[in-house]
Amino acid sequence: MWRRVVSCSTSAQFQAVGSCRSSPSLNLTRRFLISSASTPSTPPPFQRSPNLSSPASGLKKVEDIMPIATGHEREELQAELQGRDILEVNHPVGPFGTKEAPAIVKSYYDRRIVGCPGVEGEDEHDVVWFWLEKGKPHECPVCSQYFKLEVVGPGGPPDGHH
Amino acid sequence: MIESQRHSYHLVDPSPWPISGSLGALATTVGGVMYMHPFQGGATLLSLGLIFILYTMFVWWRDVLRESTLEGHHTKAVQLGLRYGFIPFIVSEVMFLFAFFRASSHSSLAPTVEIGGIWPPKGIGVLDPREIPFLNTPILLSSGAAVTWAHHAILAGKEKRAVYALVATVSLALVFTGFQGMEYYQAPFTISDSIYGSTFFLATGFHGFHVIIGTLFLIICGIRQYLGHLTKEHHVGFEAAAWYWHFVDVVRLFPFVSIYWWGGI
């Protein structure tokens, strides 16, 4: 399931991949997929979302919610409280990629698997998967969407770091 | 997550407990067969196997507690996966018990000529359902209410009350088990007494075994709650124990109605 981040107002705004299809004013924007898991926007069954609305006085700290949190759980909670998505690398957002303004896909390493589902609505096609490499922008063979990799991490080969 | 693993799942470290559990299971099964047939050493192997399995359970789940509460590996995604996984486990247990209740119905709905063509079979002195069974059923149901009380206490952050509620739940469960055991001891029929005895003791016996497992699970939850492991945001272990307990609770109603009550008429 993919999360859709729909910004308000004009059609020039970004739109990420989502599971729901309809979007009244933004039906011309395109989207692209990253081959990794992401969290759905509505909580699935059996998952309780913590009430993280900050009090009027200021930002809540992890200690207010769950003092004994540690490790990854703590990281996750902290990011949620700060309102940032800890795995935002996996949720790219943007308009249709062209040669002049390619769709930017972030990656920690020098190459990443990317899937292109085409244009939102009528022009979407079966997902085409490919390796996107640093310095080698890729064009989707079906809809010609243009992708470029942006390395935001240590770089190097993705399988050479264990 | 960002720097260290870049996903929110838990890839566990290598562990010896799966293989040790398997070896324990091997010893238990082989020892069990040896014990039930005329082979020497069966009883020893069986007991060794069972002890080994219990030891593996202890250390395996201790590792899970360490990884989750003490190391923080159980993110929201992991918690969800655990919940989603525990439900099919409970369903599998339901299937298991269903088989024994079906066996009981199979024999009781069309009693064969060997037992007199009637149910209960000729000569079986059935237990009066209005006595101990009728007491035990509400005891178990109250313990189900107590575990819900405990859950609400945990959600409200009332940690002491949650411990008391769990103590209440476990006490009721132990009383139930005690009464069942006493009934077993005083029953006028045994497991060897025709198909009635077999189905009765197997169905109620396995249910009782699951009650004991559930009680142990709840005791562990009580200890953890006392130690402060369970928070109102994160208490998957307790939820699993509570679900298991409700399953045990509901299952009790089936033998009560079909075996004790209807089966004794």
**Full DSSP string of A37-59:** ----SSPPTT-PPP--PPPTTS-
pLDDT of A75 higher than 50: yes
The CATH number for B151's domain is 1.20.120.80
Where do the structural domains in chain A lie, given as residue ranges? 60-87, 92-161
Q: Indicate the pLDDT class of residue A18, thresholds 50, 70 and 90.
A: very low
Chain B nearest C-alpha distance from A54 (Å)? 16
pLDDT of A5 higher than 80: no
| pLDDT value of residue B192 | 92
Q: How many CB atoms lie within 10 A of CB B207?
A: 22
| pLDDT value of residue A38 | 45
Is B85 near chain A, with CB under 8 Å?
Answer: no
Chain B nearest C-alpha distance from A153 (Å)? 9
Per-state percent for chain A, helix, strand, coil, to nearest 5: 15, 25, 60
The CATH number for B48's domain is 1.10.287.70
**Which fold would CATH assign to domain A92-161?**
Cytochrome C Oxidase; Chain F (2.60.11)
Across the beta sheet with A103-107, what order do the strands follow? A103-107, A146-151, A138-139
Mark which of B47, B72, B97 sits at the end of a domain: B72
Chain B nearest C-alpha distance from A47 (Å)? 6
Q: Indicate the pLDDT class of residue A58, thresholds 50, 70 and 90.
A: low
Nearest Cβ partner for A76 among B8, B80, B231: B8
Clarify whether residues B58 and B172 are in a common domain.
no
Q: Indicate the pLDDT class of residue A50, thresholds 50, 70 and 90.
A: low
Task: Say how far apart CA B162 and CA B148 lie, in whole Å.
Answer: 10
- The secondary structure of residue B22, as a DSSP letter, is H
Q: Is A20 annotated as a binding residue?
A: no
User: Do residue B4 and residue A72 have CB atoms under 8 angstroms apart?
Assistant: yes
Nearest Cβ partner for A74 among B4, B6, B72: B72
User: Do residue B71 and residue A70 have CB atoms under 8 angstroms apart?
Assistant: yes
Given a cut of 70, the residues of chain B with pLDDT beneath it are 1-4
Mark which of B72, B88, B117 sits at the end of a domain: B72
Clarify whether residues B85 and B191 are in a common domain.
yes
Is B12 near chain A, with CB under 8 Å?
Answer: no
| pLDDT value of residue A62 | 80
User: Do residue A39 and residue B76 have CB atoms under 8 angstroms apart?
Assistant: yes
Q: Which tokens hold the place of A40? A: 């759905």
Clarify whether residues B48 and B145 are in a common domain.
no
Determine the residue among A49, A72, A161 to mutate to test chain B binding: the one whose Cβ has the most chain B Cβ atoms within 10 Å: A72
Clarify whether residues B146 and B32 are in a common domain.
no
Determine the residue among B79, B234, B239 to mutate to test chain A binding: the one whose Cβ has the most chain A Cβ atoms within 10 Å: B234
- Higher per-residue confidence, A85 vs A104: A104
| pLDDT value of residue B222 | 94
**How many residues appear in chain B?**
265
pLDDT digits (tens, 9 = 90+) for B55-103: 999 999 999 999 999 998 999 999 999 999 999 999 999 999 999 999 9
Clarify whether residues B121 and B15 are in a common domain.
no
Is B152 near chain A, with CB under 8 Å?
Answer: no
User: Do residue A72 and residue B73 have CB atoms under 8 angstroms apart?
Assistant: yes
Q: Which tokens hold the place of B224? A: 């953890």
Interface of A with B (CB under 8 A): 36-37, 39, 44, 46-48, 50, 65-76, 86-87, 89, 108
pLDDT of A2 higher than 70: no
Number of domains chain B is built from? 2
Q: Indicate the pLDDT class of residue A34, thresholds 50, 70 and 90.
A: low
| pLDDT value of residue A15 | 32
Is B185 near chain A, with CB under 8 Å?
Answer: no
Clarify whether residues B158 and B204 are in a common domain.
yes
- Strand pairing class (A111-118; A124-133): antiparallel
Clarify whether residues B35 and B110 are in a common domain.
no
Clarify whether residues B12 and B119 are in a common domain.
no
**How many residues appear in chain A?**
162
Structural domain that includes position B174: 74-264
Clarify whether residues B122 and B49 are in a common domain.
no
The DSSP secondary structure of B136-173, one letter per residue, reads HHHHHHHHHHHHHHHHHHHHTT-HHHHHHHHHHHHHHH
Mark which of B17, B50, B72 sits at the end of a domain: B72
The DSSP secondary structure of B184-229, one letter per residue, reads HHH-SS-TTSHHHHHHHHHHHHHHHHHHHHHHHHHHHHHHHHHHT-
User: Do residue A72 and residue B72 have CB atoms under 8 angstroms apart?
Assistant: yes
Clarify whether residues B188 and B89 are in a common domain.
yes
- From A28-37, A88-97, B62-71, the region with the lowest mean pLDDT: A28-37
Chain B nearest C-alpha distance from A37 (Å)? 8
Q: Indicate the pLDDT class of residue A91, thresholds 50, 70 and 90.
A: confident
Q: In A, which residues are within 8 Å of B7 by CB distance?
A: 36-37, 87
Q: Is A116 annotated as a binding residue?
A: yes
Cα angle A20-B86-B16, degrees, rounded to a multiple of 5: 115
Chain A residue at shortest CA distance from B84: A46
